[in-house]
Amino acid sequence: MKMRRRRRAADVITYALLTLILGFFLFPIVWLLLTSLKPARDAFAIPPVWVFRPILDNFRNVFAMVPVAAYLKNSLTIALGTTALSLVLGVPAGYGLARTMSRAAGNSALLMLAIRMAPPVALLIPFYLVMRDMRLLGTYLAVILLQSVFNTTFVTWMMRGYFHSLPADLELAALTDGCTRFGAFWRVALPLAVPGVATAAIFTFTFSWNDFLLPMLLSGRTTRTLTLGILETMSTYEIGWNNMAAIGMITVLPVLLLGYILQPYYVRGLTLGAVRE
């Protein structure tokens, strides 16, 4: 009897704590969603207004204030370009490093990991000068190149782990049947690794989409991304939170959906390159 009562008390405490935790972690997201649908007057009301008639005015305002479509196109171009380049470089690299047991392979893998750990600012300062000298500042290419530096290391590590988990026997069979190494990779290993490649691609896309620092310095007026566009809704004179929330929702929604699709892989992906050794 006493045991059961104690267990019930424990359950009540657990649920109370979980509610509190969820409240903390969901509150800013709920605020963002609600504010994007609030009339401007309610967005600044104190005490905060929680019940109101949702409107889409803010989204309309934002499209009038900021060239959202152009920024969307820029964000997409840069994210897709970065994803393509990182995969083209990283997938074969991951394959090579997974199927080689030499010390050189281990060292190159560690070298790539070291770059992933470096803070972007440290690379950004000299990279900015190099891009300026090559007259590439303000182009898509400048942003894509530097984002690919960080993401290629990610793809390499992820694919190294993935290829590692695939048995090499099938490739060996293909090789003895007279396939070239590339043939074995292209016809045997790669098709088996499609789920891994897809995951790496979606992660790279998300990282690039969410990036702010690199496009801020390397992109130009015509190549500006959505993450930069958000700041344009907040001039020094006027903080338009309702408008900011609307463009924020536009920015967040695609990656939130991708994150939902990636659910089972998400934590592993974010910790990749550290847990795998």
Partner 1 sequence: MGEYTGATADRSAVAAARPVEKWLKRLGLLPWAAPALLFMLCFAFYPLGYSLYISFFNYSLTDPTQAQKFTGLANYLKAFADPAFRIAALNSVLFVTLAVGIQTVLGLAIAVLLNRDRPGAPLVRTLLLAPLTLTPIVVALVWRALYNADYGVFSYYLKELGVHIGRGPIGEPSTALLALVIVDVWQWTPLVALMLLAGLRSQSADLFEAAQIDGASGWQQFWCVALPLLRPILIVALLIRTMDVFKLFDSVFVVTGGGPGYATEVMNHYIFKTGLTFFDMGYAAAMSNLLLVLIGLFTAAYFRAIGQLGVTQ
Distance from the Cα of residue 24 to its chain's centroid = 23
Interacting span for partner 1 (CB under 8 A) from 51-59, 76-84, 190-198, 267-275:
267-275
Interacting span for partner 1 (CB under 8 A) from 58-66, 76-84, 191-199, 205-213:
205-213
Q: Angle at the Cα of 156 (from 78 to 77), degrees rounded to 5?
A: 10
Q: What token pair was written down for 85?
A: 């380049």
Distance from the Cα of residue 247 to its chain's centroid = 18
Q: Angle at the Cα of 211 (from 243 to 263), degrees rounded to 5?
A: 90
For residue 117, which amino acid is it? Answer: M
Interacting span for partner 1 (CB under 8 A) from 51-59, 63-71, 149-157, 172-180:
149-157
Window 19-78: residues binding partner 1 (CB under 8 A) = 21-22, 24-26, 28-29, 31-32, 35, 44, 46-48
Burial group, residue 31, by CB count within 10 angstroms (0-12, 13-18, 19+): middle
Applying CB under 8 A, among 127, 140, 162, 205 the residue interacting with partner 1 is 127
Closest CB to partner 1 among residues 65, 234: 234
Phi, psi of 276, deg, nearest 5: -75, 135
- Contacts with partner 1 by CB under 8 A: the residue count is 92
Contact 200, 158 (CB under 8 A): yes
* Residue 139 interacts with partner 1 (CB under 8 A): yes or no: no
Closest CB to partner 1 among residues 46, 194: 46
Any residues with CB less than 8 A from the CB of 227 and at least 6 apart, and which?
75, 209, 210, 211, 212, 215, 251
Write down the least CB distance from residue 167 to partner 1, Å: 16
* Residue 18 interacts with partner 1 (CB under 8 A): yes or no: yes
* Residue 12 interacts with partner 1 (CB under 8 A): yes or no: no
* Residue 167 interacts with partner 1 (CB under 8 A): yes or no: no
Interacting span for partner 1 (CB under 8 A) from 55-63, 76-84, 192-200, 240-248:
240-248
DSSP string of 36-60, one letter each residue: HTS-HHHHT-SSPP------SHHHH
* Residue 204 interacts with partner 1 (CB under 8 A): yes or no: no
- DSSP single-letter state for residue 187: I
Write down the least CB distance from residue 72 to partner 1, Å: 14
Interacting span for partner 1 (CB under 8 A) from 59-67, 76-84, 190-198, 258-266:
258-266
Closest CB to partner 1 among residues 14, 222: 14
Applying CB under 8 A, among 39, 57, 65, 128 the residue interacting with partner 1 is 128
Contact 182, 174 (CB under 8 A): no
Window 177-196: residues binding partner 1 (CB under 8 A) = 181, 185
What string marks each residue from 81 to 120 as x (binds partner 1 by CB under 8 A) or -? -------xxx-xx-xxx-xxxx-xx--x--xx-xx-xxxx
Contact 177, 109 (CB under 8 A): no
